[in-house]
Structure 1
Amino acid sequence: MSLFQKTRCMQVLDLLRQNKIDVLLIFPGANIAYYTGFPIGPSERLAAAVIPVDGEPYFVVNQLEEELRGMEPWFKRVEVWDEHEDPVKLLAETLTKAGDGEACLGIPEEAPWGWVNSLQSRIPNAKFVDVGKYLGYVRMVKTDEEVALIKEACRISDAAMEEAFAQIHTGMTELELQTLMVNGMQSRGASRAFAGVVFGERAALPHGSASDRQLKPGEFVLVDMGGLYKSYWSDCTRTVFYGDEPTPKQRKIYETVLAANRAALAATRPGVTCESIDVAARKVIDEAGYGEYFIHRLGHGLGMEIHEHPYMVRNNKQLLEPNMVFTDEPGIYIVGDIGVRVEDTVVCTKTGGVELTHFPRELTVYPVK
């Protein structure tokens, strides 16, 4: 484990100690990568990082992951189970031998229920508590290095978006444009990428999937895309117009969404609630008469996962802090007719919000080809 990950662990262990939690158990996913530096992906084979608040941390992994042994000085110990063995039994035995069979064990909310349930039955005197909020809090506030990685991920997606949009033409399918977007990000260094592409009336589907629907003049093209760069994601949505000139209705809806996006950015600063950012954007859309068509929260945190804390949503009283990164993505969705969303990745700084995505926000019109 590098000093970077060890420092992160010390932060969260301090929180656990204050709340009388003895041991942190982390399972594969973003948390294990964030706190240990090892990107072990979800699998049917049990893997866990066991990190006592006071004591030696260790891994419990299948023999396929035995290469972890000795890779980092802080995690010197690796307990390995063979394919024919019961991994939960091994985990329970190691906890019991360490005197943690009756301890308070902190487990994040995404922990696999089957394994946790089996572990509880083997060490029934242990107490299991959800520590997701503590893990999430440490991850919410990015380091300058993390912000720089997200910024580069955003640069990659901006460039891919510009290149792909320049190629739209009559008859192009959503799937074809999706391929251009994804390939554009991966060719620029993204290890993974996604692009949700919807045309015309299908843009009113906030989570619509690309299809063989063909592009026609006179309609909006909505693309929600992001790429993973060195473990950190970008996320950006743009709605562009394909044709000669948007109708007054199309332009009004677009300008309303853009104004909501700008209002949220203007409201961003340290010390305000996440809820207030949502309220600022929603007020613009409500006053324009489209409130019933803004059907989701304003945004979500972004980092090692595309969706993570903090969430820009009503009733979230979490206060913004410098270096929190989140999305600002208001939208209007009139089913069967029209959909518009404008999304930026934003970092909260000491003086306010700064966008990390830079593809033009003003309505871009692409001529018919």
Structure 2
Amino acid sequence: MDLEALYPPARLLDARRATAAAGLDALLLTPGSDLRYLTGYDAHVGERLTCLVLPAEGEPTLIVPTLERPAAEASPAPATGVRIVDHADGTDPYPLVVKALGGPVGAVGLADRMWAEQVLALRHALPGADQRLAGEVLRELRIRKSPAEVAALAEAGAAIDAVHRRMGEWLRPGRTEAEVAADIAAAIRSAGHVTVDFVIVAAGPNGASPHHGTSDRPIGVGEPVVVDIGGTMPSGYRSDCTRTYVAGGPAPAEFVDYYTVLRDAQAASVAAVRPGVSAEAVDAAARTPIAEAGFGAAFLHRTGHGIGLDGHEEPYVVAGNDRALEPGMAFSVEPGIYLAGRHGARIEDIVVCTTDGVVRLNTTPTELIAL
């Protein structure tokens, strides 16, 4: 992976211009996806302050704890042009933020998920500064993926597809959901991910809960099993893919019937993706046929979410979001049908809007898979 292409120095300049256009004097970014997006630095989250100070005009400065300076210097951050300043344990790092700003500021954008203690400390250090969310600026930069980002997402998609292709090694009647999940987690790492973000193995009635997780319940013969898995690659970009399986015998007839409805709806929603189409129209392409088949109330969640350095980010594919899709937008298409107390099903692919349509980044079959 070409880290300079994935985390280009020009991104900082784009962010500075967008910061000024938003009426902010600077962005202050603590560890998280926004910091990594701008610098490539996957910073440790802890009580010691790490903060990128990005003035709308002036030199960007990355403030780090002394003991973490080697990691910052080994990251792509220096190649982006940021200056690294460190602070020793027992010293107050917030005056370094004030100094890096280079003068009085009227408004700053804080990382959306900055710890409250850091927000309050910055309020004390910059008493005259209005605090707003950095997401106001960075959301619009991050929502359209560059070719390098799309390549990173495609690599992540291929890695998680490789895990789904091995499901027959682990998923069988008599084994518990937790036992299967442990095997899947090991496979996610062996497929190239550096972290396992989630493993859902939801069999039988547990499949009717979209965020079930796992349990010690054994998988029954002929039970539908929803497997939703994802992780983070060395690039920082994420995978997320769901397939539904049947273990060791024929599935219930009613399940087979509504799975066909679901598969057709998911395919229609993917096919609806193209520039200029609204996010809510893609949601409707999945939701309408499911509702017409009588399962509208059983589709419990939005059709999709953006993905990149975060597992969930803009754009959200949901009713009420009239945002027009643009080339480079990457998101999930994952309708589901959930019948409480009985079973459920979900099919999820990551897709990218292109200049003339859509590309699926997950390529394993979407038909009901009997193991």
TM surpasses 0.5: yes
In structure 2, distance between residues paired with 1:249 and 1:278: 24
Q: Aligned to 1:223, which of 223, 227, 233?
A: 227
Cross-structure match for 2:352: 347
Cross-structure match for 2:41: 38
CA-CA distance at 1:76 after TM superposition = 5.1
The code of the aligned residue for 1:327 comes to: S
Pair 294,76 (structure 1): closer, same or farther in 2 beyond 3 Å: closer
> What are the superposed Cα offsets for residues 273-319 of structure 1, whole Å, 9 maximum, x if unpaired?
11111111111111011111111111100111111111111111222
The code of the aligned residue for 2:223 comes to: E
Tell me the percent identity.
36
Cross-structure match for 2:254: 249
1:12 aligns with 2:15: yes
1:126 aligns with 2:159: no
CA-CA distance at 1:93 after TM superposition = 4.8
In structure 2, distance between residues paired with 1:344 and 1:45: 38
1:310 aligns with 2:315: yes
Cross-structure match for 1:272: 277
In structure 2, distance between residues paired with 1:196 and 1:167: 14
Q: Aligned to 2:325, which of 299, 320, 324?
A: 320
1:26 aligns with 2:29: yes
Comparing 323-332 with 107-116, greater Cα deviation is found at 107-116
The code of the aligned residue for 1:43 comes to: G
Pair 78,167 (structure 1): closer, same or farther in 2 beyond 3 Å: closer
Cross-structure match for 2:154: 151
Mapped contact 1:32–1:38 kept (Cα < 8 A): yes
> What are the superposed Cα offsets for residues 304-357 of structure 1, whole Å, 9 maximum, x if unpaired?
111111111111122211121100000111221111111111111122122111
Pair 94,147 (structure 1): closer, same or farther in 2 beyond 3 Å: closer
Structure 1 segments (4+ residues) deviating >6 Å: none
The code of the aligned residue for 2:261 comes to: T
In structure 2, distance between residues paired with 1:36 and 1:72: 8
The code of the aligned residue for 2:16 comes to: L
User: Any idea what SS the aligned residue of 1:260 has?
Assistant: helix
- The runs of 5 or more residues in structure 2 that have no matched partner are none
User: Any idea what SS the aligned residue of 2:166 has?
Assistant: helix
Q: Aligned to 2:92, which of 67, 70, 86?
A: 86
CA-CA distance at 1:258 after TM superposition = 1.1
- Aligned CA-pair RMSD: 1.9
CA-CA distance at 1:242 after TM superposition = 1.8
User: Any idea what SS the aligned residue of 1:232 has?
Assistant: coil
> What are the superposed Cα offsets for residues 101-159 of structure 1, whole Å, 9 maximum, x if unpaired?
33321223222222112211232111222230321221111111111111111111111
Mapped contact 2:144–2:326 kept (Cα < 8 A): yes
TM-score w.r.t. length of structure 1: 0.93
Cross-structure match for 1:195: 199
Pair 270,76 (structure 1): closer, same or farther in 2 beyond 3 Å: closer
Cross-structure match for 2:304: 299
1:233 aligns with 2:213: no
- The runs of 5 or more residues in structure 1 that have no matched partner are none
In structure 2, distance between residues paired with 1:300 and 1:236: 12
Mapped contact 2:25–2:105 kept (Cα < 8 A): no
Q: Aligned to 1:55, which of 45, 54, 58?
A: 58
The code of the aligned residue for 2:182 comes to: T
The code of the aligned residue for 2:304 comes to: G
Mapped contact 1:243–1:365 kept (Cα < 8 A): yes
The code of the aligned residue for 1:184 comes to: A
Comparing 320-329 with 189-198, greater Cα deviation is found at 189-198
Comparing 33-42 with 79-88, greater Cα deviation is found at 79-88
In structure 1, distance between residues paired with 2:350 and 2:33: 19
In structure 1, distance between residues paired with 2:313 and 2:88: 34
Cross-structure match for 1:337: 342
Pair 54,327 (structure 1): closer, same or farther in 2 beyond 3 Å: same
In structure 1, distance between residues paired with 2:25 and 2:211: 41
In structure 1, distance between residues paired with 2:230 and 2:303: 17
Q: Aligned to 1:356, which of 334, 358, 361?
A: 361
Mapped contact 1:92–1:119 kept (Cα < 8 A): no
In structure 2, distance between residues paired with 1:248 and 1:268: 31
The code of the aligned residue for 1:190 comes to: H
